[in-house]
Amino acid sequence: MFKKDFPIFKNKDIVYLDSASSTQKPAVMIEALRDFYENTYSNVHRGTCSLAACATERYEQARKTVADLINMRAANIVFTKGATESLNLIAAGLAQHLTPGDEILISVAEHHANFVPWQQIALKTGAVFNVFDVREDGSYDTDDFARKLNAKTKIVALSHMSNVLGVVNPLTHLIDMAHAVHAVVVVDCAQSIAHMPVDARALNADFLVFSGHKLYGPTGIGILAGTDEMLDALPPYQFGGDMVRSVRIKETDFAAPPVKFEAGTPPFAEAIALSESITYVRQIGFDKIMAREHALMNQLLNRTIELPNVHILAPNPNKESLVAMTFGDIHPTDIAALIARQGICVRVGHHCAMPIHERFKTPVSLRVSLGIYNNADDIERFCNALEKALRFFKG
Ligand code: PLP
């Protein structure tokens, strides 16, 4: 139904089931990017000509579009180059407030982008790095969370949706518990943002991050949303042009957030293009997106569990838009290689989440993930190809 909006699917042979890694791009976004570069391009914030004014206005309007998507104010939205940079920015800033013996608490299911920065600042500052478990069905083990949260916990980093397990974690209660011990809460929405409404205000986290390229936007653009209080308290991540109010030989007065965190020429063309993607997604509506993706997930899970040797990682009927699987003694890479020959794009490996693979006692898995362009035929083609590949290896 929506395939026609995505130029890549003019090639009818492609079955794209790797949207958790990065989504395909709608024509409206590609066209907006081309139009901006062709007709109204100029750097933002510093110029006086009409091109510069127009670029600045569209960049700031894009900030507002992002803010509206997650129910925040534009002043709370920092443009970065991706979720990874957003998380590193937050970690680098918060590290300055950590002292030996402070604690950081995260889950074993985090993507490396929401794992390694916290591990590294713990090593650097002498903070204790605590990791809580997930249950067999992939949901957060809230008892383990409660056991490991304490008055020394200064940072809690969670994800709205796992990029391996596809489980959406209800976070409000955990965030309230973390706030009760005065911990700063960071929520990674890189996976959920394209599949369901995310209300940052209702979640009440201190920071929330995601990437544009997983939301049908261009690469090189990410979001860091923070509360007024947190953005004011966080020191700048990089220094340079634009992020200052005044510079003298002996001192610099930094601009107010969000500009304080946007040193140098920001990714404004990408921000403008991302805002087109957001408008496109919102015109379709998350109700429709969720209904379609749920139906496809049911089809996928019902078909694959019937197949011999298919083991779903953390079986759970409430998986949203992605599922990871293994195949007994057949290596997922071998299966992926065979089905790739039929034009089917899935992902194989640890998906930048080695600790959760270790937790489920497998080094790698094959991940199938959905986008708004997928349809029942894509799922059928994948399942048929998988069935054939399994027969090839097992006879
Ligand atoms: N967090 C999660 C849950 C992810 O799935 C990803 C990417 O796969 C990231 C963070 C990092 O996103 P990026 O590589 O766009 O910075």
Q: Tell me, what amino acid is at 358? A: E
Q: What H or E segment, with its residue span, contains residue 83?
A: helix 83-95
Asked if 324 and 311 touch (Cβ cutoff 8 Å), the reply is no
pLDDT for the residue numbered 391? 95
Q: Tell me how far the alpha carbon of residue 190 lies from the centroid of ligand 1, in angstroms.
A: 5
Q: Whose CA is nearest to atom 8 of ligand 1?
A: 21
Q: Tell me, what amino acid is at 341? A: R
Which of 191, 195, 196 to mutate to test ligand 1, by most ligand atoms within 8 A of the CB atom? 191
Q: Tell me how far the alpha carbon of residue 82 lies from the centroid of ligand 1, in angstroms.
A: 8
Check 54, 189, 345, 352 and give the catalytic one.
352
Q: Tell me how far the alpha carbon of residue 52 lies from the centroid of ligand 1, in angstroms.
A: 32
Q: Are strands 207-211 and 222-226 parallel, antiparallel or unpaired?
A: antiparallel
Q: Whose CA is nearest to atom 5 of ligand 1?
A: 163
pLDDT for the residue numbered 49? 78
Please tell me the number of Cα atoms within 13 Å of 234 on its side-chain side: 30
pLDDT for the residue numbered 190? 98
Q: Tell me how far the alpha carbon of residue 313 lies from the centroid of ligand 1, in angstroms.
A: 19
pLDDT for the residue numbered 264? 95
Q: Tell me how far the alpha carbon of residue 308 lies from the centroid of ligand 1, in angstroms.
A: 32
pLDDT for the residue numbered 1? 81
Annotate 41-70 with DSSP letters as a single string: ---SSS--SHHHHHHHHHHHHHHHHHHHHT
Distance separating alpha carbons of residues 393 and 395, to the nearest angstrom: 6
Q: Tell me the per-residue pLDDT of 9-37, one tens digit each, with 9 for 90 and over.
A: 999 999 999 999 999 999 999 999 999 99
Q: Tell me the per-residue pLDDT of 32-65, one tens digit each, with 9 for 90 and over.
A: 999 999 999 999 987 777 888 899 999 999 999 9
DSSP designation for 169: P
Q: Please name which of 310, 335, 311 lies closest in space to residue 392, comparing C-alpha atoms.
A: 335
Please report which confidence band the pLDDT of residue 316 belongs to, taking 50, 70 and 90 as the band edges.
Answer: confident
Asked if 280 and 29 touch (Cβ cutoff 8 Å), the reply is yes
Q: Which of 10-24, 201-215, 216-230, 303-317 has the lowest mean pLDDT?
A: 303-317
Count other C-beta atoms under 10 Å from residue 70's C-beta.
Answer: 22
pLDDT for the residue numbered 380? 97
Q: Which residues line ligand 1 (CB under 6 A)?
A: 82-84, 111, 113-114, 159, 163, 188, 190-191, 211, 213, 352
Which of 80, 84, 88, 354 to mutate to test ligand 1, by most ligand atoms within 8 A of the CB atom? 84
pLDDT for the residue numbered 240? 95
Q: Which has more confidence, 49 or 295?
A: 295
Q: Tell me the per-residue pLDDT of 79-135, one tens digit each, with 9 for 90 and over.
A: 999 999 999 999 999 999 999 999 999 999 999 999 999 999 999 999 999 999 999
Q: Tell me how far the alpha carbon of residue 340 lies from the centroid of ligand 1, in angstroms.
A: 23
Q: Please name which of 306, 307, 355, 362 lies closest in space to residue 332, comparing C-alpha atoms.
A: 362
Catalytic residue check, 352 = yes
Q: Please name which of 54, 33, 52 lies closest in space to residue 42, comparing C-alpha atoms.
A: 52
Q: Which atom of ligand 1 lies nearest, measured to the CA of 211?
A: 15
Q: Which atom of ligand 1 lies nearest, measured to the CA of 352?
A: 8
Q: Which atom of ligand 1 lies nearest, measured to the CA of 162?
A: 3
In percent, the amount of the chain with pLDDT more than 90 equals 94
Distance separating alpha carbons of residues 255 and 141, to the nearest angstrom: 41
Block residue for tokens 């408008």: 279
Count other C-beta atoms under 10 Å from residue 358's C-beta.
Answer: 12
Q: Whose CA is nearest to atom 14 of ligand 1?
A: 84
Please report which confidence band the pLDDT of residue 309 belongs to, taking 50, 70 and 90 as the band edges.
Answer: very high
Distance separating alpha carbons of residues 218 and 181, to the nearest angstrom: 38
